[in-house]
Amino acid sequence: MRITYCSADMDAASWIPGLQAAIPGAEVTLWEPGGPPADYAVVWKPPQQLLDEQGPHLKAIFNTGAGVDAILKLRLPPHVPVIRLDDAGMSVQMAEYVCHAVIRHFREFDAYDRDTDNGKWSFRKPRSRAEFPVGVLGLGVLGERVARTLTQFDFPVNGWSQTPKDISGVACYHGKAQLNDFLAATRVVVCLLPLTPETENILNADTLGRLQSGGYVINVARGAHLVDADLIALIDSGHLAGAQLDVFRTEPLPKGHPFWAHPKIAITPHTSARTLRSESIAQIARKIEALECGQAVAGVVDMDRGY
């Protein structure tokens, strides 16, 4: 068995030995143009040339992340499944990040930071959790984990997905017909949607304007979900209280972008949930073993839905 590895961002010197150790019977090599045909490709943001050359021989393509929007922009070989990571340690990181962002905003720790930076000793009136319903847009593996974790802090939690979901403690909405009701019931919105043509620009003046007054935006999905200018306008108008952003249309975020200097927007460098190499490699190895035995595996991307 041959496995070819290619990543624009990740360290091949660690991934290739790890894959080799997890799948001892395989030959794992770094992809090079014109290289020998492989049975499986393990990739992150691969070039089109890899898919053109290797496509006819591949049994499956493993995407080393939960988001598949980058690879779906390419011309994929027909009948070759693209398989994404189900979790691989990312869901607990995402729950940590989102809960931290929600609590920081709710408890006004950002304001306390500003006060202490200025040598000011101050208190703020405690706020009611009942007045801060949190809505999670996207209830996949990561979104469901985030929604369930938020319930542990006694916030009212809403969830929206394309198809019906049933999550204990979460008021679930689904489909376009229920999106506006979800937004109207939400004050703090968390975007964990896959990026598809239907979800691009979904965080815009219309949708964000439907959030409860004093709303807050947390985007940990993709930068293209958010219309940047609409967010700033709604914050400056007073309808939104601010935002915590981890993803951006251009990364790194360009110098001079207004997000850098806006006092009510906090940013982090796409670090909410990082791929954990050892967990990812173990998952890929298990799935390759199952495929070789003719078994079905989780995480196969539905090309029509885009996730």
Q: Which residues are catalytic?
A: 222, 270
Here the tokens at position 4 are 């070819």
Q: For residue 103, which of 19, 265, 221, 218 has the smallest C-alpha distance? A: 218
Check: CB of residue 66 under 8 Å from CB of residue 141: yes
Q: For residue 19, which of 36, 5, 31 has the smallest C-alpha distance? A: 5
Strands 215-219 and 240-245: parallel
Handedness of CA 151, 139, 241, 180 (dihedral sign): negative
Query: What is the end-to-end Cα distance of the chain in Å, rounded?
Result: 28
Query: Buried (b) or exposed (e) across 229-260, using 16+ Cβ within 10 A?
Result: ebbbebbeeebbbbbbbbbbeeeebeeeeebe
Rounded to whole angstroms, the Cα distance separating 246 from 269 reads 6
Rounded to whole angstroms, the Cα distance separating 44 from 26 reads 20
Handedness of CA 129, 135, 140, 143 (dihedral sign): negative
Check: CB of residue 219 under 8 Å from CB of residue 247: yes
Check: CB of residue 4 under 8 Å from CB of residue 31: yes
